[in-house]
Each structure stands twice: as C-alpha cells, then as structure tokens.
Amino acid sequence: MYERQELTAQFQQYMENPLLWPVLEVLRKKPSGWKVHTLASHLGDLGFIPVLDPSPEKDLFKRNFLIMNALYQLQETLYPDKWLQVEAMNIILMPSHQVAGHEVDTSDPLRDYYIHWKNYEAEEGEVKRLLNEFWTRYRHSVGSTNGKDMDRAKALSLFELSHDASQTEIRKTWRKLALKWHPDRERGDSEHFRILCEAWNVLRH
C-alpha cells in the first residue's frame, strides 16, 4: 500500500497536462469571454479533446476537470508575467500591467481539488494513457517528426541541463522554454518550439 502511495505522489508531481499549450493559444487569441464548458467545447472542435466517457455526465465532468487542471497549471506557469483568472464562468488572461494584486493561492480548496489527478475518478494508468494521447495530438498539431533525431543526451543539451538533472528541473525548464518560444509569443519561433516539444517528449517519461 505504501509503495502505491509513493508512486501516486510522484505521478501527481510530474504529470503535466498537455492541454496547457492549446489553452494558452486559445486565450492569447481571445483573452476573455470564456467559461469552462465553452473552452472545453472549443478545444474539442480543434481536435484536442476526444469523448472521455460513454456516460454524458461523466464525460462532462472529466472534460471540466481537465480544463480546470490545465488552467490552474497554466496560471502558475504564467505568473508573475501575466495573470490568468481561473473562474468556471469567467476565464480571463490578463496582461502584465494587471498582475499587481494577484498571486497564486496555494491554499485555495478549489485549486487543490483540480490539481490532484486522483479526483479525475480514474486509475493512474488510465490518466497516463489519456495524457499521452493528448500529448501525441498536440505534437502532431505542431508538426511532430516523432522524435526521429532526438535522444536523451540531445534533449538535455537543448534544455541546457546535465545528464543527472531531476524530473522537477526538467519540467521547470520545459515550461520556461516552451513559454519563451511558443509561436504565439511576440518573439516566438514555431520551428524551435517544435524541436523543444520533441525534446520534452523524450525527457518527460
């Protein structure tokens, strides 16, 4: 039992929701006017979210959970450069001059609920498969080459990390680089971002 809890804790810490990046693209193009269900529907139309459960009620719950989880992770990733207001009926990506007075509330019970994958109501293996599928969809959307020319050593070199870098270091570096080079950024670069995606795909396991 203890070993299972340890595995789950590690999974909770390292498993990133790949919907962060499609959500960021959507919010950059239209920073306000979103509700959780309209955002989920839009991402579904773009091909990022398949049907998640044969039961319509469970499918809706799981979609909402994934979006809220991504929003809270994205809020933390963007802060303090931008502020992402995470409210189910009023999602807003605010520019840097509106960040003052806002900060990530780690004691927020709603945030705590949606950040923890155990509340997705699925076995860890199912969640991993789902997120891997999402990541594959996203890589395809940015022009993945299926990592033909990427190995761990090259990926670590791109991230400017040593061979013994921890998963926490790797994840933090990925988010920092992805945010810097994302094609929707003013100085972003879609080709460099695609290469970084391939590197992260190798290092995230």
Please check whether residues 36 and 3 belong to one and the same domain.
yes
Q: At what angle do helices 190-203 and 167-181 cross, to 10 degrees?
A: 170
**Do 77 and 165 belong together in one domain?**
no
Supply the pTM of this predicted model.
0.87
Q: Which of 117, 142, 167 finishes a domain? A: 142
User: Domain check: are 86 and 176 in the same one?
Assistant: no
pLDDT of residue 58: 93
Q: Are residues 43 and 127 in the same domain?
A: yes
Q: Which of 89, 113, 142 is the last residue of a domain?
A: 142
- Both tokens of residue 13? 């810490």
Looking at this protein, which amino acid is placed at residue 170? I
Do 152 and 134 share a structural domain? no
Domain count, the chain: 2
* Domain span including residue 170: 148-204
Indicate if 36 and 136 belong to the same structural domain: yes
86 and 131 fall within a common domain: yes
SS3 at position 34: strand
Do 4 and 19 belong to one domain?
A: yes
Residues 44 and 137 in one domain: yes
Identify whether residues 57 and 158 lie together within a single domain: no
The pLDDT profile of the chain, 205 residues, written as one tens digit per residue, is 444 444 466 555 557 899 999 999 999 999 999 999 999 999 999 999 999 999 999 999 999 999 999 999 999 999 999 999 999 999 999 999 999 999 999 999 999 999 988 889 888 888 889 999 999 999 999 888 766 778 999 999 999 999 999 988 999 999 999 999 998 887 889 999 999 999 999 998 7
Residue 195: CATH number of its domain: 1.10.287.110
Note whether 43 and 49 are within 8 A (CB): yes
Terminal Cα distance for the chain, rounded: 23
DSSP 3-state of 85: strand
- Measured CA to CA, the distance from residue 151 to residue 191 in angstroms comes to 18
Let me know whether 59 and 152 are in one domain: no
pLDDT of res. 13: 57
**Residue 97 shares a structural domain with residue 184:** no
Last residue of some domain: 109, 142, 175? 142
